[in-house]
Structure 1
Amino acid sequence: MSLVLEYELVGDGARPPWWRTLLLVLPISLLSLASVVFSPLGSAMSAENPDGATVLAAAGALTLAFFGPVVLFWRHRFPFLITVVAALVAVVIPIGNLLAFGALAALIGRRRGPAVWATTALVTATSTWVVIADALAQPREASVSKTILGPPGGDPRAAIDLAPGVVVTVALVGLAVTIGAGFLIRLRRQNATVSTVAQTEREASDRLGDEAARRQERERIAREVHDAMGHRLSLLNLHAGALELNAGDDPRLQQSAHLVRQSAGEAMDDLRGLLQVLREPLGDEPPAIPLSRLPEVVRDSFGAGQVVNSSIFISEAERADPQLSRGVYRIVQEVLTNARKHAPGEPVHLTVEGDPATGVVIEARNRYVPGPVTPAGSARGLKGIAERAELLGGRLQFGLDEGNTVFRVRVELPWREAPASR
């Protein structure tokens, strides 16, 4: 049967600056030296012609008393070891209780649990022993408590006694101050931790507030653009269509009206895409279309009026995350829309392959149709694809190949598993 005493860390692992520990070490070293001087060993050293063993023991005790408190620099790394060793050494060597008390205060301030109270009980027992032994030591110069609390002006070599109440008070005050200091350290560390957590939460709240404000501004801009530009483009499209019908036998006027109507329709498509990008972060995402239905979506959504030769193979599509499914759908939609706008009438070869091991690859190619002027904003579709791919952790590649006659778009997306349902 084994006994395991548990403990836990209080606060974070931050340590005080070295100069603060030095301010603790110096007075403990000086008072520990005083404990050796005013002890039976120190009294024996003050006698005439002390023997060699006494001198050697006194030299060792004085060295330990002065340099021993240096271990307090490591009191946060080895709090239990330093406290226990300091308490036991004080029973054997007259260095006093201050080193053990300093280590115990740090222990209580940074740890809690049964192991802390067991160590406190050990220090209580050893410090009581040290106080009683000091109170029983004779003559007066061999006792710290008698030297400090005895009647003033007495003979240092005289034998005096202290009242039992004084001895008990000395022991209790030392322990009370030590334990109180430990709890004060613990309280300060807990408050610092709470303040740090609160500051982190405030910063997170501020970031969320800024993000919400930006999204609201995007929504406001989207509404204004829709109200201002949507109506005018619709009127332009309507009047261009009427002009085309009433052009009569003037082919130039009919062609110009047709171009105006076609450009207005394409501008409306661009505007809808832009508004979708602006509004998407605020509004609820539409239900994700499963990847297993992607062939149906391609056929139903893009088959009318556009020749699409598609090859779609996705393994374990039901495991895909809804965000991945939605992203693949939007990217395929934009790829085919882009091809329809810039290469009207040309067949599009679409390939979509995916599985959990390799991710999803979307590739589309069509014959390149050069135009005299690139319409303003014609690269917006590819930019939107690139942004959506980046949000999903993927990348976009596009350009001409096969003798600058085929335009190819390739999107690579990492696989995302759907979250486990609870």
Structure 2
Amino acid sequence: MSALTWTTVVPLASLAAWAWLLMGQGFFWRTDVRMPPSPADGAPADWPSVAVVVPARDEADVLPKTLPTLLAQDYPGHARILLVDDGSGDGTGALARELARDAPDGPPLTVLAPGEPEPGWTGKLWAVRCGIEHARSGTSEPEFLLLTDADIAHGPDSLRRLVRGALGQRLDLVSQMARLRVRTGWERLIVPAFVYFFAQLYPFRWVNRPGARTAAAAGGCVLLRTRAAVRAGVPDSIRDAVIDDVALGRAVKRSGGRIWLGLADGVESVRPYAGLSPLWRMVSRSAYAQLRNNPLLLVGTVLGLLLVYAVPPVWACAGSPVAGAAWLVMTLSYVPMLRYYRQPLWPAVLLPVTAALYLAMTVDSAVQHYRGRGAAWKGRTYS
């Protein structure tokens, strides 16, 4: 390629890509997609019953900060909690029972132990299946299921707001992207970008549009109508999904259900990520699965990320004003997410550095997949 091409066409292509992302990708960079409004006529006359299903594997460190928030829910209807102890070796189940005894006025807690997952199942979905089956086995089937991870802390009105949102908008699935913990330097560099990139892949406005093909959910907090789960055949129909929340959203939407996904207020993850290594594992364990384990998609992703995130700063430092404009657009698009995470705004200029890390994580995810160690999590590896 000629020097003219390198100095003009490539930066122009990058700027064009950013113009399209900014205006044509569902306004993914905006952070105003929040919980649906409550019904205009106020609270429902009869609050539906809810079964809260919490899959938990070796979660004794975080459970004292999260389970009490479920036991303290201000919910007018009938609710119960099913914690599914997925083969924990740290006393997760016993600790859950102890925490429930300390909150006698909270929803009743049942601890289940389903044993090792059957072949073809991921551990989390096997635990979810156990919880849903138990919830539906009683004399009265719950109208809603709240699927929430063991590291998620809920505000006292969280369940009430989720149910009111589902009823008010006639939704079959309401999912909130929990606010992840951001305290250490690595968390500040990696975590807000994780949600930013997720929204770029699955723009919330597209997810929430009934006629759009885009579908997703955030696994930390999913309120699901029981009849919608039955109609979609979940979790059995997605039993081997590594990225189970996206698969869940797709299954419900494809079966005719109405879904909603947005950023959370009052739903937060307390899981700490001390250093780069655990954050790296969080991303790399499923990054290549996101690309369907397809090497051609991996090559396309690498080239695309280089064009969108590497070209602007490199060419701008070489004196290209067009590349500088692309870098400015990129930086400004990241500012709303930093504000949502209550972070200083100056790190927005470092988004290319963060993107380079995510690119390396994605390549490493592919390498681990071909080494037979892909999608490893808490002692289990899924092909």
Larger Cα Rg: Structure 1 or Structure 2?
Answer: 1
TM-score, normalised to structure 2, is 0.22
Structure whose residues are more often helix by fraction? 1
Greater relative contact order (CA < 8 Å, ≥ 6 in sequence): 2
